[in-house]
Amino acid sequence: MVQMKKILENFVISRYRPFSQKAFSNQSFTTGIFGYFFLLGFILLSIWADGAGEAASNYLRTLRMPLILMIVFNIIGLTLFNITKLKKYAVVISYLSGVLFLFFIGAFLTAFTDNPLHYNIYGSIFIFIGWIIGVMLHVIIVNISLKQGSMKIRDKYGDYYVNILGGIGLTCMFYYTFSDKDFFLLIGIALTIIGLLVVLTFNFPRILPYWRKEQPRKDISVYSDSIKIMKRGKSK
């Protein structure tokens, strides 16, 4: 338990630390709202154009309601964020919204394949497993760094997984332009999303301060100190 606490305290790579310490703001929610509106607009435009075929259009119609719900959740989160006691719940909504947004992008892109639902289900599972593997590998790297007593190993190798996935993903998408095979495009996109999810995990510490209990403030005013001194003088 103690070791896991140390791992969490040292989880974030130095290059990502400024982002992991950034406080949430109203802009965090408005960005989510506009992001989902933008994606919803693409879906509605694709349905209206009807260039992807009937099967793809029907699939895209099923994505409309979840996207609208995510917009509503972000609006609720924005409202809760302006209520001090409920901020901790609001920031969770904002973080999860960012995670799900990447999955929705993958779901949207599978619409232009010959079997959208099939690729979406198996693609989401593939992305989720890849994300978990990335997080577990990073935990192992941080654990090794703690045993060595230096975070140089974490900072040197911590983003190798993301870089490798990004490189392979870009290669697959580049190869797709020549082969015109959907498989390479989907694999490239999936690997890129996995890398982004791992990076997004480094932003998780932004939530933690909102869930910590505030320590009771000690009375350190000049007035209270003066009273204490006067009482001590009378007791002598």
pLDDT (0 to 100) of residue 8: 83
The domain locations on the chain are: 14-213
By CB atoms closer than 10 A (0-12, 13-18, 19+), residue 66 is middle
Q: What is the pTM of this model?
A: 0.84
Q: Tell me which residue of 78, 94, 71 sits closest to 22, measured CA to CA.
A: 94
The pLDDT confidence band at residue 19, using thresholds 50, 70 and 90, is confident
Give tens-digit pLDDT for 59-112: 899 999 999 999 999 999 999 999 989 999 999 999 999 999 999 999 998 888
